[in-house]
Amino acid sequence: MATQERKPLLLDFEKPLVELEARIKQIRELAEENDVDVSEQIRQLEARAVQLRQEIFTGLSPSQRLQLARHPRRPSTLDYVQAISDEWIELHGDRSGSDDPALVAGVGRLAGRPVVMLGHQKGRDTKDNVARNFGMASPGGYRKAIRLMEHANRFGMPIITFIDTPGAWAGVEAEKQGQGEAIAYNLREMFRFDVPILCTVIGEGGSGGALGIGVGDRLLMLEHAVYTVATPEACAAILWKDSAKAPQAAEALKITAWDLKNLGILDRIIPEPIGGAHSEPLKAAATLKQALLDDLAQLDALTSEQRRELRYQKFRNIGVFLEASA
């Protein structure tokens, strides 16, 4: 049976670029059919395509970056783990009768060094997303995460987390199972660990669901990732009773990597390939791996006491502001 070629998912702001690339392809095919030399015209159009791609992806609005962060083809936690680790074994279960597929965790090696890597896992399509609960972890997921992190701390292995969730699962069943307690427990315990902790927002970092694995010595973000206290849609519905005002909320919430860097919350912005991480996933993974190794080397130079103090002060200073007197 012939396989049907999978068409790339197209975002609205990408349409001018795709139309130009289609035009270049059409001109090239017509020139080959008619044996006409149009190489100069094609070079000019290709140069324009490169320029247009640069213009589009360097001038994105917060709501457009949110679209990229949610792109179904964007690399997930498992994609990055497989790309950057020498070997990795996924471990399951919270030892309380639950295993949450929305949060994956395991032990592996990064540049030959034993580490624990874990993160939220979204699906590729509707069926996969339903199985993964759209990356919204349950209490069992956060308990599985802390079990693996305690293992890492016991055996001196750095902890690397990947954040990609619209938020923790907010269902009634999650509340019955102690969602708030599970996240709060993780927050408290991550502050006391001796080993280095590196947290990276790879896609969408939402609310307490992100913070449940987000307390670390370093917070990194991919260039087109977002990190927010609530989704822009939820914020718009709360403030204006109109989710259509989500772009306005996205602007006000300061959700982009550049906003968070300016606010002192973020430690490092990891550049993505032009077109987003999904356009060249292996290149994006290589850049992420190097950033992790660089920061890990810096943290290795500190004592466990210095790392704990650094971690505490980092979060203690978030939200601190001064009011000018009248």
- Do both 277 and 193 map to the same domain? yes
Flag whether 2 is in a domain: no
- Residue of 13 and 262 predicted with greater confidence: 262
Total domain count, the chain: 2
Q: Positive or negative CA dihedral for 216, 220, 225, 227?
A: positive
Residues 144-190: pLDDT tens digits? Answer: 999 999 999 999 999 999 999 998 998 999 999 999 999 999 999 99
CA atoms of 249 and 98, how far apart (whole Å): 36
Q: Is the pLDDT of residue 6 over 60?
A: no
User: Do residues 202 and 164 lie in contact, with contact meaning Cβ atoms separated by under 8 Å?
Assistant: yes
Flag whether 73 is in a domain: yes
User: Residue 302: which CATH number?
Assistant: 3.90.226.10
Flag whether 151 is in a domain: yes
Residues 107-152: pLDDT tens digits? Answer: 999 999 999 999 999 988 889 999 999 999 999 999 999 999 999 9
- Do both 36 and 139 map to the same domain? no
Flag whether 4 is in a domain: no
Residues 211-234: pLDDT tens digits? Answer: 999 999 999 999 999 999 988 998
Residue closest to 228 by CA, chosen among 254, 202, 198:
254
Flag whether 284 is in a domain: yes
Q: For residue 280, how many other CB atoms are within 10 A of its CB? A: 16
- Do both 255 and 272 map to the same domain? yes
> Which of 59, 92, 113 delimits the end of a domain?
59
In which region does residue 156 sit, left (phi positive, over 0), alpha (psi from -120 to 50) or beta (all else)?
Answer: left
pTM of the model: 0.87
The domain containing residue 305 runs over which residues? Answer: 65-316
- Do both 41 and 81 map to the same domain? no
CA atoms of 306 and 283, how far apart (whole Å): 33
pLDDT for 325 = 72
DSSP 8-state code for residue 13: G
